[in-house]
Amino acid sequence: MPRILVVSPYEAELQPLVSACVAAALRDEGADVTGWDYHQFPDPEPVGPFDLILVSVGQYEGLERGLSIVGRLAVDSDAPIVVFGQYAQLNRRDFLRIADAVAIDEPERIAGDLVALAAGRLPLNEVAALVTRTGMRPKPPRKRISVVPARDLFPSLVHYPAHHSPYGLMGNIEASRGCHHKCTYCSVYGAYDGQIAPYEVDAVVADAVALADEGVRHFCFIDAEFFNSRTIGIRAAERIVAEVGPCTFEMTTRVDHILDYTSELEHLVSLGLRQVTSALEFPSDRILRIFDKNITVTDMKACIRQARALGFELKPTFIPFTPWIEYDELLGFEDFLDETDLARVTDPTALQTRLLLFKGSPLLASPWMADVETIDRGFYVDWRHADPRVENLWAERRASAEGAGKGRCCIKC
Ligand code: SF4
């Protein structure tokens, strides 16, 4: 039985769901799998030897930590190292300097090949959907993610502070990865290019029922976009309520979906939906156009009213500091939050959020960047606003927001 180590350098401070799914898929294929949350629980370090090491790099915050642990494992172990996740794909050149391969598909879909690699039955350059220093193998046919995450390989979620929410112990579940939309600043678009990887409803429900056995009654769908499917997430929520009993939910979706999917949202509220996170970005039609959000400020205001009418809390996220904002617009932002009564629910860090131009950001290739002063910082491209008052305001707000907590539109970017 080949031994495989699955390492999570960072997954938004939550019990690492994606790594647990990958671990489950490998275990289902006959591997002896060890899970390691290197960020939250670095000690004790798992003892090898291992036949294969997989490292998950899904978020920007995990990038440096991911590179550092891959570098260390490459020195300490003879096992091939495969890196996966959207920021691994976006930074594949950097990872291929120290890792053996980067997976360009969901690892669950190539679990059979990965176990064969670990067992010495398949050479690295014949594993589907891997990019190596010498080439790339095509992706296998698409299929839904059907595994129930192997959460037992990681510390229980009660030990993760981020799982203790105002709604009680929170369980992180998901119905799909990726997103059909193409907002220009978004890493999900950068990595998935408008594609999605949906789950089987049975797998989502089985995971939720197992979480309920641990005391979870509040479920957070961590999908970048809940309405990647009109049916999967809703069917999962219906069945979770049927099997677990009364519980509550939160999820992330777009402003236009909040406006268009009224009956679906009404139904979800009746099932226990309490909170919806949505990336409002900034109340400026010009900024919304640059971000390709397909909404206007009028839509944004209608969405705020719709949330109140339907009976869930809208948790907005914003990116006020961009190269295209005007100083006076920034000064009016707090008034907008007060007028719309969003000040009460907006994370204080939202006032200082600055656009991250990560390596591979679709914005970098857009004509909007033509006149923007930039500096290459390796994993991201720093930018300077043409108006020094904007930079000074950001520096001021950044200092006052320090330690105020973290706000993000979804845990995927
Ligand atoms: S910002 Fe949201 S809707 Fe837009 S591409 Fe990213 S995940 Fe999809």
Question: What CATH number does residue 380 fall under?
Answer: 3.80.30.20
Residue 41 lies in a domain: yes
Of 136, 170, 205, which closes a domain? 136
| Phi, psi torsion values for 70, nearest 5 degrees | -65, -45
Q: Could you tell me if residue 185 is inside a domain?
A: yes
Question: Is there a single domain that holds both residue 311 and residue 182?
Answer: yes
Q: Are residues 126 and 205 in the same domain?
A: no
Asked if 161 and 89 sit in the same domain, the reply is no
CB 243 within 8 A of CB 271: no
pTM: 0.94
- The rounded radius of gyration (Å) of the Cα atoms in the chain is 21
Q: In tens digits, what is the pLDDT along the chain, a chain of 413 residues?
A: 999 999 999 998 999 999 999 999 999 999 999 999 999 999 999 998 999 999 999 999 899 999 999 999 999 999 999 999 999 999 999 999 999 999 999 999 999 999 999 999 999 999 999 999 999 999 999 999 999 999 999 999 999 999 999 999 999 999 999 999 999 999 999 899 999 999 999 999 999 999 999 999 999 999 999 999 999 999 999 999 999 999 999 999 999 999 999 999 999 999 999 999 999 999 999 999 999 999 999 999 999 999 999 999 999 999 999 999 999 999 999 999 999 999 998 887 788 889 999 998 999 999 999 999 999 999 999 999 999 999 999 998 887 655 444 445 566 66
Burial 315-334 (b: 16+ CB within 10 A, else e): bbbbbbbbbbbeeebbeebe
Domain shared by 42 and 184, yes or no: no
Is residue 407 domain-resident? no
ω before 348 within 30° of 0 (cis)?
no
Answer yes or no: do 45 and 115 share one domain. Answer: yes
| Residue identifier of the C-alpha nearest atom 4 of ligand 1 | 183
Q: Are residues 110 and 200 in the same domain?
A: no
In a domain, 60, yes or no: yes
Q: Distance (Å, rounded) from C-alpha 388 to C-alpha 238?
A: 52
Residue with tokens 């907006």: 346
Find out whether the beta carbon of 255 lies less than 6 Å from any atom of ligand 1. Answer: no
The Cα–Cα gap between 154 and 204 comes to 18
125 and 167 housed in the same domain: no
Verify that 327 and 292 share a domain, yes or no.
yes
Are 391 and 246 part of one and the same domain? yes
Answer yes or no: is 258 within a domain. yes
Cα–Cα distance between 257 and 234 in angstroms, integer? 14
Tell me which residue range forms the domain holding 356.
156-401
Pick the closest to residue 346 from 404, 295, 303, 392 (CA basis): 404
**CA 181 – ligand 1 centroid, Å:** 6
| 343/374 same-domain check | yes
What CATH number should be reported for the domain holding residue 29? 3.40.50.360
Do 205 and 340 reside in the same domain of the chain? yes
Please state, as a whole number, how many other Cβ atoms lie within 10 Å of the Cβ of residue 30.
Answer: 14
User: Is 96 in a helix, a strand, or coil?
Assistant: helix
Residues 255 and 340 in one domain: yes
CA 406 / ligand 1 centre spacing (Å): 19
For residue 32, list its beta bridge partners. Answer: 3
Q: Which of 136, 169, 191 is the last residue of a domain?
A: 136
Contact between residue 60 and residue 356 where contact means Cβ atoms under 8 Å apart = yes
The protein residue whose alpha carbon is closest to atom 6 in ligand 1 is: 186
Position in ligand 1 atom list of the atom nearest CA 252 = 2
Does residue 145 belong to any structural domain of this protein? no
Rounded distance between C-alpha atoms, residue 118 and residue 112, angstroms: 10
Q: Is residue 412 part of a domain?
A: no
Does residue 179 line the site of ligand 1, with CB under 6 A? yes
The closest of 285, 167, 181 to 227, measured between CA atoms, is 181
Phi, psi of 229 (to 5 degrees): -130, 140
Instruction: Compute the distance from residue 183 Cα to the ligand 1 centre, in Å.
Output: 6
Q: How many domains does the chain have?
A: 2
Q: Which of 86, 182, 186 to mutate for ligand 1's pocket (most ligand atoms within 8 Å of CB)?
A: 186
Nearest CA to ligand 1 atom 7: 224
In a domain, 78, yes or no: yes
